[in-house]
Amino acid sequence: MKSMNEGATIGGNEVLIVIDVQNDFCPGGALAVPRGDEIVPIVNRLAARFRHVVLTQDWHPRGHFSFASSHIGKKPFETIAASYGPQVLWPDHCVQDTPGAAFHGGLQIPHAGLVLRKGMDRAIDSYSAFYENDRATPTGLVGYLRERRCLRVFLAGLALDFCVRYSAEDARRENFAVGVVEDACRGIDVDGSVAATRASFAALGIPCISVQQIARA
Ligand SMILES: [Zn+2]
């Protein structure tokens, strides 16, 4: 297989997964990723080159387990031990059917074939587009991509060091070829999480590429 470091030609077997470009993850939102809104025009242009596009949407019920407000005495960005491992606690964000959960108003990807919502289970967080944070409960995206004959997964969106990271790692684990379009992502960087993400990508052989490296077939 051709290395993604050499650039990628986009045809029918490639999919762009746009992670969580929602108001709450942009400046002014409840869990803003610094400069998160900068990627909106970049992602729009990038998505226009793909036949297959999936959008993910973080979509929590009120009182979700990942909210610091659901745990007495806990503050946002503290980590707790969940039954499935460490869980960072966040400010309340992306509550179902609220303006904060809506896609950023500038996002224009009308040809996206699937909007995949995640994080609906009150008791489990879901960073990845493929599995909830227990690493065992699938979202169904693997089956969708296989039926659509997508072999190569490109990722963009928010935040690089959480939902993009875990989605990329799960895609790799599911034996898709994976590339993270780094200039179409922004990180939130909690306790060195951006550095940890880069180290993990390097260890797993997940290349970070630029928008410029992606050409239409
Ligand atoms: Zn969330």
Confidence of residue 216 (pLDDT cuts 50, 70, 90): low
Give pLDDT tens digits for 33-91: 999 999 999 999 999 999 999 999 999 999 999 999 999 999 999 999 999 999 999 99
Q: How far is the CA of 63 from the centre of ligand 1 (A)?
A: 12
Residue 141: pLDDT over 80: yes
- What is the Cα–Cα distance from 152 to 171, expressed in whole angstroms? 9
pLDDT of residue 7: 64
Query: Could you tell me which residues are beta bridge partners of residue 179?
Result: 154
Rounded to 5°, angle at Cα 199 from 197 and 201: 70
pLDDT of residue 9: 79
What beta strand segments (E) does 149-194 contain? 152-158, 177-186
Residue 201: pLDDT over 80: yes
Pairing mode of beta strands 85-88, 79-82: antiparallel
CA atoms within 13 A on the CB side of 199: 5
pLDDT of residue 4: 54
Confidence of residue 215 (pLDDT cuts 50, 70, 90): confident
pLDDT of residue 6: 53
- What is the Cα–Cα distance from 125 to 31, expressed in whole angstroms? 15
Bigger pLDDT: 214 or 157?
Answer: 157
Confidence of residue 158 (pLDDT cuts 50, 70, 90): very high
pLDDT of residue 121: 95
Residue 5: pLDDT over 70: no
Bigger pLDDT: 6 or 56?
Answer: 56
pLDDT of residue 1: 47
Average pLDDT value over all residues in the chain = 94
pLDDT of residue 11: 85
Residues designated as active site = 20, 118, 163
Q: How far is the CA of 122 from the centre of ligand 1 (A)?
A: 11
Q: How far is the CA of 47 from the centre of ligand 1 (A)?
A: 23
Q: How far is the CA of 142 from the centre of ligand 1 (A)?
A: 20
Mean pLDDT confidence for 126-147: 95
Mean pLDDT confidence for 188-201: 95
Say if CB 100 and CB 93 are below 8 A apart: yes
